Amino acid sequence: MSDLAPITSDSKIYQVLISSLPNKFIVDFANGIDVGRDHLRVQRQRTGMGARLYDGFTGQGARRQAEINASLIDGVEGSLIWLGELTESLALSNYAIVQVNERLSVITQNVTTLAHYSADTRHQVEKLSIHFNQRCDQLNQQIYRIDFEQRAERQLEQVFNKWAAGRLNTFSLAGRCYAAMEELRWGVFGDYCRIHNNHIRQGFLGDLANRAISQLANDASMEPGDRSEMSSWLARPTGRTLLADATDALAYLGDGSNPEVQPFVFSITQLPEQTPLSVPKICNADRLARALVSELFSV
Amino acid sequence: MSDMKVGLVLSGGGAKGAYHVGVVKALHEVGAQVDAVAGASIGALNGAILAAAPSLHEGAVRLETLWMDLANTSPLKFNFPAYIQLLAASGLHLASAGVLKEIVQKAQHIAGGAMPAGISNFLGGLNEGALSDTPLQNHINQYLDQEALNKGLPLFVSVFKHDHAFRDLLRCAVAELGIVDSAASEFVHIQSLPILEQKEALLASAAIPLLFAPKRINDNLYSDGGQGGWQKMQGNTPITPLLEAGCNMVVVTHLSDGSLWSRHDFPNATILEIRPQSNISREGLVPDILGFNAGKLPSWIEQGYVDTMHCVGRVMKATKSRVNLKVSEAAVVQSQDTARIDQEMQITMSRLSA
């Protein structure tokens, strides 16, 4: 498109043209009609004998006819000139239409290219969006897993801190281990172990077992592999600061335990004096901790 | 600034000069400009009023006022035809009534007819005193102001060198029969004349032979300019001085039906003729020229207006159509200048494919 303002009837060029001298051929063409009509009107009125004789004698009839003829010729000539201009203008318009068509074809082609480009871009964006969403989901899952793992580890840390701080000293050595593991089993740690696959769960449970072995050995002032009678692991501590209903609390927690499936839990919570046959008479911290992990977290 | 210089030719035709009023009024209404005026006989007087007016509009108003004065003059008060009243009020000296009456009676005797009542009454009451101190004369004195005329539009009038009233008329008659044309009229640029001769030249242009005494200009006697070049109406349609003055567009008015004046005698000039589109004759040649029936004047004013609107309107419409065609062509050509935007599109598309 041209940078110039479009030409309209308000344009200066229009005002200049309309106020400038009309072309002679236009004036002769248009005015010739009125001139010819004036002569023709008089000619038609002069059909009487006298008038015809007078016009013929004076030559006025012939001159009038000559004027009519000249006006007609002017009209035809004006028509020819105007027709020529119109034809040239039409040719110009036709060429302009051709140019418009050519440009329209180019624009159509470009629009087609743009449409393809747009469709391709949209397809790529959609793919990218899917990939991005998948990646986001993965990241979310990882974040959730990490958060979950963090919370599970924190609970593990909190529970063993509590144990190490002596908060569970009201229970027997094995009872402390059971109480700690029971708390973990019903908390985030237990959820984490139940949700995740065997490999991850085994890692966490290994940590749990190691921490429990270490804490048990520490509480018993023994090495993890040092053996001691089972009754010493199950014996309730004595002292004034102990909770009176600690035994009942353990019994309540392990009320549903099956002596055949969970012999250690049963021994610790229900009848410390009558341990099932599957419970060894002599046991070390390592054996006790692993047995409880196995009985409480086996799914 | 328009390069157009428009001349207006007001041809002679006696009382039919009222037609000029409508012409000028219509020209003003269509927004035409007039840069110079040429007139013969009554056209010279009308042209002088127009040339002295400060604008085309004011000229139209003054002409209408003057001619309506004539139309409204009571026929009982003045027993004169309107045109004679106008010329006499303008300052033309009437020829002796006795001489005129004698001439007419001799002519009738030869023809063997009776004198028409109108002409008899007119000649019976012919004297200059009856025409003095009328509103018409006051208006003419006001509108033909010498100073305004000298500052106004260039005015040309045609005058015919007077020989003898009878011989002049005889030459016109011979020319009318197509035997030998009458001598050409001369054209006078009024503003170039000495002050004292300006009005004389105006009046000379309208001095009908026999009725009015010829006027003296540069030691020569001149009478009605319409007599010259009778066959081609050279004197009665004074276009030549306007073309010589540089007018490139001339509006020519005719006061007769089927005027044999020919635009083709001026092949290089752009001429717009205002011709009667219906009969301008009302009651015959002499009564129309002298204006025995002043009641007809408004109808000529109206006819001049309608004919001008018709003739000029037709040319304007055609011109406007052609201008629209040319402007639309220019717009088409301008709209084809698309190189820059095409290049921008090409660059943009190449960026897409890069």
A63 vs B326: CB contact, 8 Å cut-off? no
pLDDT in tens, B309-330: 999 999 999 988 988 888 888 8
Does the CB of B326 have a partner CB in chain A at under 8 Å? yes
> B residues 2-21 near A, CB within 8 Å?
2-4
Nearest to A38 among B258, B319, B328 (CB): B258
Mean pLDDT, chain B, as a whole number? 83
Say how far apart CA A112 and CA B182 lie, in whole Å.
Answer: 83
User: Looking up tokens 């007078």, which residue turns up?
Assistant: A54
Nearest to B319 among A8, A13, A26 (CB): A26
- The alpha helices in chain B, defined as continuous H runs, are 18-29, 42-52, 56-72, 82-90, 97-111, 117-124, 135-143, 146-151, 165-176, 195-205, 240-244, 285-290, 297-335, 339-353
Residue in B180, B257, B307, B332 to test binding to A, most A beta-carbons within 10 Å: B332
Whether the predicted pLDDT of B250 surpasses 50: yes
A22 vs B279: CB contact, 8 Å cut-off? no
Tokens standing for residue B330: 């220019």
B340 vs A27: CB contact, 8 Å cut-off? no
- In this prediction, residues B60-66 reach a mean pLDDT of 93
- Residue B154: pLDDT band with limits 50, 70, 90: very high
Predicted confidence at residue B291, as pLDDT, reads: 73
A28 vs B177: CB contact, 8 Å cut-off? no
- Residue A241: pLDDT band with limits 50, 70, 90: confident
Residue in A7, A16, A21, A31 to test binding to B, most B beta-carbons within 10 Å: A31
Whether the predicted pLDDT of B115 surpasses 80: no
- In this prediction, residues B217-227 reach a mean pLDDT of 85
Q: Provide the shortest C-alpha distance from residue A30 to chain B (in Å).
A: 5
A33 to chain B: which residues are within 8 Å by CB? 314
A2 vs B270: CB contact, 8 Å cut-off? no
Contact assessment for residue B312 and residue B32, using Cβ atoms and an 8 Å cutoff = yes
Kindly report which listed range (A12-16, A267-271, B81-85, B350-354) carries the lowest average pLDDT score: A12-16
Strands B215-217 and B220-224: antiparallel
Whether the predicted pLDDT of B108 surpasses 70: no
Burial A30-51 (b: 16+ CB within 10 A, else e): bbbbbbbbbbbbbbeebeeeee
Does the CB of B246 have a partner CB in chain A at under 8 Å? no
- Residue B276: pLDDT band with limits 50, 70, 90: very high
Contact assessment for residue A179 and residue A216, using Cβ atoms and an 8 Å cutoff = no
Say how far apart CA B20 and CA B49 lie, in whole Å.
Answer: 11
Does the CB of B279 have a partner CB in chain A at under 8 Å? yes
Does the CB of B33 have a partner CB in chain A at under 8 Å? no
- In this prediction, residues A73-101 reach a mean pLDDT of 93
- In this prediction, residues B128-136 reach a mean pLDDT of 50
> What type of residue sits at position B205?
S
Say how far apart CA A58 and CA B177 lie, in whole Å.
Answer: 5
Q: Provide the shortest C-alpha distance from residue A6 to chain B (in Å).
A: 7
Beta-carbon contacts of residue A211 (< 8 Å; ≥ 6 apart): A156, A160
Whether the predicted pLDDT of B106 surpasses 70: no
A117 vs B326: CB contact, 8 Å cut-off? no
> B residues 92-151 near A, CB within 8 Å?
none
Does the CB of B329 have a partner CB in chain A at under 8 Å? yes
B319 vs A22: CB contact, 8 Å cut-off? yes
Predicted confidence at residue B191, as pLDDT, reads: 94
Nearest to B345 among A23, A96, A110 (CB): A110
A19 vs B4: CB contact, 8 Å cut-off? yes
More confident residue, B293 or B31: B31
Q: What is the dihedral of CA B110, B111, B112, B113, to 10 degrees?
A: -130
Contact assessment for residue B249 and residue A33, using Cβ atoms and an 8 Å cutoff = no
Q: Provide the shortest C-alpha distance from residue A130 to chain B (in Å).
A: 25
> What type of residue sits at position B214?
P
Does the CB of B350 have a partner CB in chain A at under 8 Å? no
Residue in B23, B180, B270 to test binding to A, most A beta-carbons within 10 Å: B270
Strands B249-253 and B220-224: unpaired
Does the CB of B218 have a partner CB in chain A at under 8 Å? no
Beta-carbon contacts of residue B182 (< 8 Å; ≥ 6 apart): B160, B168, B171, B172, B174, B175, B227, B228, B229, B230, B231
> B residues 162-201 near A, CB within 8 Å?
176-178
A4 to chain B: which residues are within 8 Å by CB? 334, 337
A18 to chain B: which residues are within 8 Å by CB? 319-320, 323
A21 vs B176: CB contact, 8 Å cut-off? no
- Residue B133: pLDDT band with limits 50, 70, 90: very low
Predicted confidence at residue B99, as pLDDT, reads: 55
| Interface predicted TM-score (ipTM) of this complex, two decimals | 0.83
Q: Provide the shortest C-alpha distance from residue B3 to chain A (in Å).
A: 6
- In this prediction, residues A180-199 reach a mean pLDDT of 91
pLDDT in tens, A142-182: 998 899 999 999 999 999 999 999 999 999 999 999 999 99
Contact assessment for residue A178 and residue A268, using Cβ atoms and an 8 Å cutoff = yes
- In this prediction, residues B135-140 reach a mean pLDDT of 69
Strands B6-10 and A282-284: unpaired
- In this prediction, residues B258-273 reach a mean pLDDT of 93
Residue in A9, A10, A12, A21 to test binding to B, most B beta-carbons within 10 Å: A21
- Residue B216: pLDDT band with limits 50, 70, 90: confident
pTM exceeds 0.90: no
Whether the predicted pLDDT of A73 surpasses 80: yes
Predicted confidence at residue A15, as pLDDT, reads: 65
Predicted confidence at residue B80, as pLDDT, reads: 64
Q: Where are the domains of chain A?
A: 12-143, 148-297
Q: Give the residue from chain A lying closest to B264, CA to CA.
A: A70
- Helices A173-186, A285-297: inter-axial angle, 10-degree rounding: 30
- In this prediction, residues B262-291 reach a mean pLDDT of 88
- In this prediction, residues B120-130 reach a mean pLDDT of 48
Question: Which of A235-249, B119-133, B186-200 is the most confident on average?
Answer: B186-200
- Grouping H, G, I as helix, E, B as strand and the rest as coil, residue B204 is helix
Does the CB of B286 have a partner CB in chain A at under 8 Å? no
Cα distances (angstroms) measured from residue B272 to each of A35, A106, B233, B246:
10, 51, 17, 16
Cα distances (angstroms) measured from residue A30 to each of A24, A77, A113, B317:
10, 12, 54, 9
Strands B36-40 and B6-10: parallel
Beta-carbon contacts of residue A272 (< 8 Å; ≥ 6 apart): A172, A231, A234, A235, A236
Q: Give the up-direction half-sphere exposure of residue B335: CA atoms within 13 A in the CB hemisphere.
A: 17
Predicted confidence at residue B134, as pLDDT, reads: 61
Q: Provide the shortest C-alpha distance from residue B112 to chain A (in Å).
A: 20
Predicted confidence at residue B189, as pLDDT, reads: 95
Mean pLDDT, chain A, as a whole number? 89
- In this prediction, residues A56-79 reach a mean pLDDT of 92
Of A31, A40, A28, the residue nearest A68 (C-alpha)? A40
Contact assessment for residue A2 and residue B338, using Cβ atoms and an 8 Å cutoff = yes
- In this prediction, residues B277-284 reach a mean pLDDT of 88
Q: Provide the shortest C-alpha distance from residue B321 to chain A (in Å).
A: 10
- In this prediction, residues B3-25 reach a mean pLDDT of 93
A42 to chain B: which residues are within 8 Å by CB? 257-258
Say how far apart CA B327 and CA B314 lie, in whole Å.
Answer: 20
More confident residue, A292 or A9: A292
